[in-house]
């Protein structure tokens, strides 16, 4: 039990390993189904934004460094905007005409729920590293998803949304790498 309380303890190591494996699964999913199919793209993009907003809120409360806290606040702001942009795109005639039943996902998937759980379980000393590691993985996955759909997606309006969101996600990844707690 005492080992679980130490920064980098067994529980932290297992959580990090789980997040890494989940990230690999997410990358594979983003590179395949999400890069062509509108339903898969919308589901993955919405879940990604939901995760980013919730993780950002947690970071705004728990981060020990100003840089990680500010990153969390920026994620809440930017990914809330991305959520609104997705909702608007899904209500556009270009999408509703072809995909009338396509709705934004409003719940996290099990993988991202697990990531949030790991974030909440991180010790105070390990929190910023855990948050930044998760952010790096999540943004790499989001770049793969958006780039793939922008190039190969089956709906022009959603392809435009993916292309428009890509620079923001790439800027986020650069910001995460600049902070780089290791």
How much is the pTM?
A: 0.82
φ/ψ region of 122 (left if φ > 0, alpha if ψ in -120 to 50, else beta) reads beta
- Residue 13 falls inside a structural domain: no
Inside any domain, residue 39: yes
Domain that holds residue 152: 22-179
Cβ neighbours of residue 142 under 8 Å, at least 6 residues apart?
Answer: 30, 45, 48, 169
For residue 166, count other CB atoms closer than 10 A to its CB.
Answer: 17
Q: pLDDT tens per residue, the chain (182 residues)?
A: 344 444 456 455 445 545 554 544 445 555 555 567 899 999 999 999 999 999 999 999 999 999 999 999 999 999 999 999 999 999 998 899 998 999 999 999 999 999 999 999 999 999 999 999 999 999 999 999 999 999 999 999 999 999 999 999 999 999 999 997 54
Give the CATH number, domain containing residue 123.
Answer: 1.20.1260.10
Whether 16 is covered by a domain: the verdict is no
In whole angstroms, give the CA distance from residue 94 to residue 101.
Answer: 13
Is 169 part of any domain? yes
Residue 119 lies in a domain: yes
* Count of domains for the chain: 1
**Is 4 a member of any domain?**
no
- Write down the residue that tokens 């981060």 correspond to: 63
């Amino acid at each position: 039990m005492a080992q679980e309380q130490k920064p980098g303890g067994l529980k932290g190591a297992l959580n990090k390993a789980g997040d890494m494996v989940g990230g690999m699964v997410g990358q594979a999913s983003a590179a395949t189904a999400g890069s062509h199919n509108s339903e898969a793209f919308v589901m993955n993009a919405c879940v990604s934004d939901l995760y980013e907003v919730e993780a950002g809120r947690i970071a705004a409360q728990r981060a020990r460094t100003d840089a990680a806290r500010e990153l969390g606040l920026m994620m809440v702001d930017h990914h809330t905007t991305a959520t609104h942009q997705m909702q608007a795109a899904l209500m556009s005639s270009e999408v509703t005409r072809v995909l009338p039943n396509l709705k934004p996902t409003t719940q996290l998937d099990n993988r991202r729920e697990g990531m949030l759980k790991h974030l909440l379980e991180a010790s105070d000393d390990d929190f910023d590293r855990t948050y930044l590691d998760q952010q790096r993985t999540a943004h790499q996955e989001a770049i793969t998803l958006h780039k793939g759909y922008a190039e190969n997606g089956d709906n022009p309006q959603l392809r435009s949304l993916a292309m428009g969101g890509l620079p923001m996600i790439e800027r986020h990844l650069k910001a995460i790498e600049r902070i780089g707690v290791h």
